[in-house]
Amino acid sequence: MAHYQPPKQSKISQLVDVLVLLVLSIGALYLPVKLGLAGASVVHKTVENPTWESLGQNPVQAGQYEALGYTPESAADLITARFDYSFSWVSLAIMVIVVVGYFVMMLKLSETEYREVIAEKFGER
């Protein structure tokens, strides 16, 4: 196989490449946060005039909360917060397709590039 000669890259083009990567990565990481789509949904059960008993805490648990400096009122939000683990099968299917599809695509493209590398390094068979 002919020896591949990569083109020389100009300074400007190098800079553009770095900027592209930066914008893409910061965008991908910040977008979900900024759009408020990130994180699990949390539901709170409201308890009127909370006491340790009505919050479902036994004396030992209540004792540790008090040692940490909490009162039933200030601890209520912390204690009653629960994650919502309900999910739709459609979105699970989408996730599976995205993850598997990503790896399949990457392995396929890598394979073609890898054959070129081996052919140039060790010569064509």
Residues numbered 43-82 forming contacts with other proteins, rule: CB under 8 A:
56-61, 64-65, 67-68, 70, 75, 77-79, 81-82
The single residue among 33, 44, 45, 51 that binds other proteins, judged by CB under 8 A, is 33
Q: Which residue has the tokens 């601890």?
A: 75
Distance of closest approach, residue 54 Cβ to other proteins, in angstroms: 13
CB of 124 to other proteins, least distance (A): 11
CB of 78 to other proteins, least distance (A): 5
Q: Is the dihedral of CA 52, 56, 58, 60 positive or negative?
A: negative
CB burial of 31-50 (b: ≥16 within 10 Å; e: otherwise) equals: eeeeeeeeeeeeeeeebeeb
Nearer to other proteins, 49 or 69 (CB): 69
Closest to 52 measured CA to CA, from 32, 38, 31, 66: 66
Cβ nearer to other proteins, comparing 11 with 49: 11
Q: How near is the Cβ of 20 to other proteins at its closest, in Å?
A: 7
Q: How many residues does the chain have?
A: 125
CB neighbourhood size of 57 (10 A) = 18
Does the footprint of other proteins cover residue 83 (CB under 8 A)? yes
What's phi and psi for 4, nearest 5 deg?
Answer: -80, 125
